[in-house]
Chains A and B, each alone.
Chain A
Amino acid sequence: MSRAMAPIDFRANAQRVPATMPAAVQKATTRFLGTRAALVDLLGQELWQTLRQAGHDLRLHAITHLDHYLEQAEREVVKAGGQVHWARDAAEANRIVLDIAREHGVRLAVKSKSMVTEEIGLNHALEGAGIRVLETDLGEYIVQLLGVGPAHIVVPAFHLSKEEIADLFRTKLGVEALAEAQQLTQIARLRLREEFLAADMGISGGNFLVAETGTVVLVTNEGNGRMCTTVPPLHVAVVGIDKVVPDWESLTVLLKLLARSATGQKLSCYTSFITGPARTKGDTGPGEYHLVLLDNGRSRILETPETRETLLCIRCGACLNICPVYNTVGGYAYGWPISGPTGAIFGTQILGTKVAGGLPFASTLCGACNDICPVKIPITEILLRLRRRVVEGDEQEGPMGPTMARTGAKMGALALGTPWLYRLGSRLLKVAQAPFRRDGWLAKLPPPLNRWTMVRPFPAFAADFRTWWRARSREGPRSH
């Protein structure tokens, strides 16, 4: 994703959401919320809240001393025989990975699920240079065959039916495929096994980077993460600089929070820990290891104390699952790979308000996300800050909204804030509405309130409290 992106039109995207999407989203999110709740109950609310606070505090500590921990991580990785690269933006990261690939004559790369590589468009960059890149997480493999992005950060293809997937496998893989989950998974297993064994390079992201030893942690269920980082002779890990965790004790807290929050598992099937290349040949791991540390706007997010907790995110997806807006539209409406509340706050800051200025408003500020976030990111506080950035501008960006909106706000504040104007306006509206009023309701209103009445009628203006109050003050309060 570069600055050259077109503005994300959330409303248009939402209007285009297929009718089957809400039910499909809600099936997935209800499942994960249920299994999560069961495990939280098992652990007990007290311990869970303690873990959340600990997770918040240690991640905040990590990002507010990020320079120190990044340097420590780099030192440790180099000590372990790995190579560390730094990438200021998406283009630089892609160039680095491409150079490594070219140096090794890579023709086929296998990739485990990584949101950061979607953020930078790595697949596209490698394919442009004639390198085949295969997504190996089943959901990502499916959407890759389909040519679309992920619809959820944990279950990318949840919205597709097994019939659609069977069709896809028949068309794109040229195989007999029954519309049955076990069979379809088996097809993918067999296909991808060949690719794992043939691949020249494995690419991964990193759920966490433990500074204490320079260890990249991968949290997966399918085994593809292990395959990508064990079988090919070369492993490249791309990790956002925000993924840093100070030490192993801190990591323990996060691992207790992550799988429970994401899928309602105590731990995912495979949690792999990788520090550099295989240390001895007999160890059967990759002989060469590269870690690419990516900024791409994260250092800029650090600049604003009130929004920097955006970087605490551990990508569990719980906020997506609980968000009533996400549950209505699904992931594609957000216009970039990370969706839901975390995608909105992260995206607005990574992509800038020119591109993503509509995202902070794609929320009713209900606050359910704040309560479910395992690291207590104050998501609605950050959304409010970003709305202000869009409308008024701040130290980071100039105002984005149309000037008319700011003038409208000024006029509105004047009318609402001046008592005699406010009372006059109230009386005038009661009069003006008369021809349109039916039974205490107004069926149609002029713009912008026509956007209200296109959905449901607006109540009639009925202010008479002040008159009532004055009258009873004259008469004295009635006894009850």
Chain B
Amino acid sequence: MASTAQLFITCLAEQFFPGVLKGMVGLLERLGVQVAFPQDQTCCGQPFFNSGSWTQARELARKWLRAFGETDGAIVSPSGSCVDMVRHHYPHLFPPGTPEHALAEATAARTFEVTQFLVNELKVTDVGARFPHKVTYHASCHLLRGLGAREEPKALLRKVQGLELVPLPNEETCCGFGGVFSVIYPEVSQAMMAAKIRAIEASGAEAVVACDAGCLMNLAGGLRKLRSPVRAMHLIEVLAADRGAP
């Protein structure tokens, strides 16, 4: 089946996790998907929307829709929160009955977070990956509750050769990133991050896996500060790591 996927790379992944993006391209192509990259994309506008600047969010949404609206196939992204933005908030930014609203709805309907795309659209859980390590999974909030993706990431992890998936205490509790929250209320963000890291350490895992750049920036930074040997990885990196050591 030759399907097409338009890459929605997201501003955070582009700036800070280019390896995840490259890994995603390789993974999708291995699964027979033809990958395209609309070059005009920048940011979906979520940071502006979440911080109350809806005028700017709307502007960026328009630009995003211009970049993706005329493309074919599924739009695939490694970020649950960005996909949640497009799927659930884009339509509300434009008055119902307008062409923009219609375009937003149509485009939203074919925008997928990558684990949901793999499992629900491509019907694949075993991508032939091998990662013989103890791994624990943190359920990013927008992916979990915004998109309802509770099982897909874990279904993929369970099929990775050699991977031992250990439970994360309070797996579904927020890590404390929250976008602007991390800079508006840093002390509270810190306490939440610390609680999540304590849980990660209690799990005994060598790596914590998540599907959102925000969570990963937060956790990786926190683990780094503690000089912890635990590595924070995007699930794509695990799926793309088919040759041993992290």
Chains A and B touch (C-beta atoms under 8 A apart)? yes
What is the CB-to-nearest-CB distance from B147 to chain A, in angstroms, rounded to a whole number?
A: 11
**Residue of chain A at shortest CB distance from B12:** A459
Point out the residues of chain B lying under 8 angstroms from A22, CB to CB. Answer: 191
A146 at the interface (CB under 8 A from B): no
By beta carbon, the residue of chain A nearest B220 is: A459
Contact across chains for A456 and B218 when beta carbons are under 8 A apart: yes
The distance in angstroms between the C-alpha atoms of A416 and B15, with both chains bound, is 12
Q: Is the CB of B176 within 8 A of A364?
A: yes
Cβ B178 vs Cβ A364 within 8 A: yes
- B129 interfacial by beta-carbon distance below 8 Å: no
Tell me whether B53 and A409 are in contact (CB under 8 A): yes
B148 to chain A, nearest CB (A): 11
Asked whether, in the complex, the Cβ of A324 is within 8 Å of the Cβ of B192, the reply is yes
CB distance from A447 to the nearest CB of B (A): 9
Complex formed: what's the CA distance from A449 to B181 in Å? 12
Which residues of chain A are near B21, meaning CB under 8 Å? Answer: 465
Tell whether, in the assembled complex, residue A459 and residue B217 are in contact, meaning their CB atoms are under 8 Å apart.
yes
B1-44 vs A: 1/0 string, CB under 8 Å? 00000000101001111100110011001100001010111110
Cα-based distance from A371 to B218 in the complex (angstroms): 24
Q: Once bound together, how far apart are the Cα atoms of A469 and B38, in whole Å?
A: 11
Closest to A387 in B: B52
Interchain nearest-CB distance for B34 vs A (Å):
9
**B193:A455 contact, CB within 8 angstroms:** yes
Which of B16, B59, B141, B172 is close to A417, meaning CB atoms less than 8 Å apart? Answer: B59
A98 interfacial contact with B, CB 8 Å: no
Stretch at the interface among A43-51, A71-79, A127-135, A388-396: A388-396
The verdict on B73 contacting chain A, using a C-beta distance below 8 Å, is no
Contacts A387-B51, A392-B52; is A367 near B145 (CB within 8 Å)? yes
Please, which residue of chain B has its CB at the minimum distance from the CB of A399?
A: B52
Beta-carbon contact of A452 and B183 below 8 Å: yes
Contact of A390 among B52, B60, B217, B220 (CB under 8 A): B52
Residue B187 interfacial (CB < 8 Å) = yes
Q: Which residues of A contact B59 (CB under 8 A)?
A: 413, 417
Q: Which residue of A lies closest to B30 (CB)?
A: A480
Cα-based distance from A307 to B50 in the complex (angstroms): 16
Chain B residue with Cβ nearest A369: B145
Among the 9-residue stretches B113-121, B156-164, B221-229, the one with 4 or more Cβ atoms under 8 Å from chain A is: B221-229
Is the beta-carbon distance between B43 and A370 smaller than 8 angstroms?
no
Q: Are A363 and B178 in contact (CB under 8 A)?
A: yes
Q: Quick check: A406 and B53 within 8 Å, CB to CB?
A: yes
Size range of the chain B interface in the assembly:
35 or more
In the complex, A466 Cα to B38 Cα: how many Å? 11
Answer whether residue B63 sits at the interface, using C-beta atoms and an 8 A cutoff.
yes
Is the C-beta of B94 less than 8 angstroms from some C-beta in chain A? no
Quick one: given A361-B181, A409-B56, A410-B56, are A456 and B225 in contact (CB under 8 Å)? yes
Contacts of B245 in A (CB 8 A): none
Partner of B11, one of A328, A363, A416, A480: A416
Answer yes or no: A91 CB below 8 A from chain B CBs.
no
Could you tell me if A459 and B29 are in contact, using CB atoms closer than 8 angstroms? no
Task: Give bound CA distance, A461 to B16, whole Å.
Answer: 6
Per the 8 Å Cβ criterion, residues 114-136 of B in contact with A are none
**Which residues in A have their C-beta under 8 angstroms from that of B178?**
363-366
Chain A residues with CB under 8 A of B244:
none
Q: Does B246 contact A (CB under 8 A)?
A: no
Is B149's beta carbon under 8 Å from chain A? no
Measured in the bound complex, the distance between the Cα atoms of B192 and A181 in whole Å is: 31
B141/A366 in contact, CB under 8 A: yes
CA distance A457 to B60 in the complex (A): 28
Chain B interface helix/strand/loop/mixed:
helix
Decide: A365 and B42 in contact? CB cutoff 8 A.
no
Minimum distance in angstroms from A160 CB to a CB of chain B: 21
- Cβ distance A126 to chain B, nearest Cβ, rounded Å: 36
A468 near B54 (CB under 8 angstroms)?
Answer: no
Q: Which of A335-375 contact B (CB under 8 A)?
A: 358, 360-368, 370-371
B112 contacts partner chain A, Cβ-Cβ < 8 Å: no
Contacts of A422 in B (CB 8 A): 11, 42-43
Interface string of B177-216 (1 = CB under 8 A from A): 1111111111111111101000000000000000000000
B-chain residues with CB within 8 Å of residue A387 when the two chains form the complex: 50-52
Please tell me if the beta carbons of B145 and A456 are within 8 angstroms of each other in the complex: no
Q: Bound state CA distance, A468 and B43, in angstroms?
A: 19
- Are A14 and B29 neighbours in the complex by a CB distance under 8 Å? no
Q: Are B56 and A465 in contact (CB under 8 A)?
A: no
Question: CA–CA, A367 to B140, complex, Å?
Answer: 11
Minimum C-beta distance from B70 to chain A (A):
16
Cβ contact of A455, chosen from B47, B173, B184, B186, cutoff 8 A: B186
Q: Is the CB of B146 within 8 A of A401?
A: no
Q: Are B172 and A465 in contact, with the CB atoms below 8 A?
A: no
Q: How far is the CA of A389 from the CA of B243 in the complex (A)?
A: 51
Is A462 located at the chain interface by the 8 A CB criterion? yes
> Complex formed: what's the CA distance from A389 to B51 in Å?
10
Task: Give A413 to B49 CA distance when docked, in angstroms.
Answer: 11
Q: Within 8 Å CB of A463, what residues of B?
A: 14-15, 18
Tell me whether A456 and B193 are in contact (CB under 8 A). Answer: yes
| Interface check B174, CB cutoff 8 A | yes
Q: Which A residue sits closest to B63, measured CB to CB? A: A417
A355 to B48, CA, bound (A): 23
Contact B53 A384 (CB under 8 A): no
Known contacts A358-B184, A389-B52; can you find 18 more A-B pairs with CB under 8 A? A11-B184, A14-B187, A328-B191, A361-B51, A364-B189, A366-B145, A368-B172, A409-B51, A409-B56, A412-B48, A422-B11, A451-B184, A456-B190, A457-B224, A465-B9, A465-B18, A465-B21, A465-B22
Which B positions have Cβ atoms within 8 angstroms of A?
Answer: 9, 11, 14-18, 21-22, 25-26, 29-30, 35, 37, 39-43, 45, 47-57, 59-60, 63, 89, 141-142, 145-146, 172-174, 176-193, 195, 217-218, 220-222, 224-225
Q: Which residues of A contact B (CB under 8 A)?
A: 10-11, 14-15, 22, 324-325, 328-329, 358, 360-368, 370-371, 384, 387-392, 401, 406, 409-410, 412-413, 416-419, 422, 426, 429, 441, 448-449, 451-452, 454-466, 468-469, 477, 480
Question: Can you identify 23 A-B contacts, CB atoms within 8 angstroms?
Answer: A14-B185, A14-B188, A328-B192, A364-B141, A364-B174, A364-B189, A365-B141, A365-B179, A366-B174, A367-B142, A368-B172, A388-B54, A392-B55, A406-B53, A412-B47, A416-B60, A426-B15, A448-B183, A456-B218, A456-B222, A459-B217, A462-B16, A465-B22
5 closest A-B pairs by CB:
A364-B178, A391-B52, A456-B221, A413-B56, A387-B52
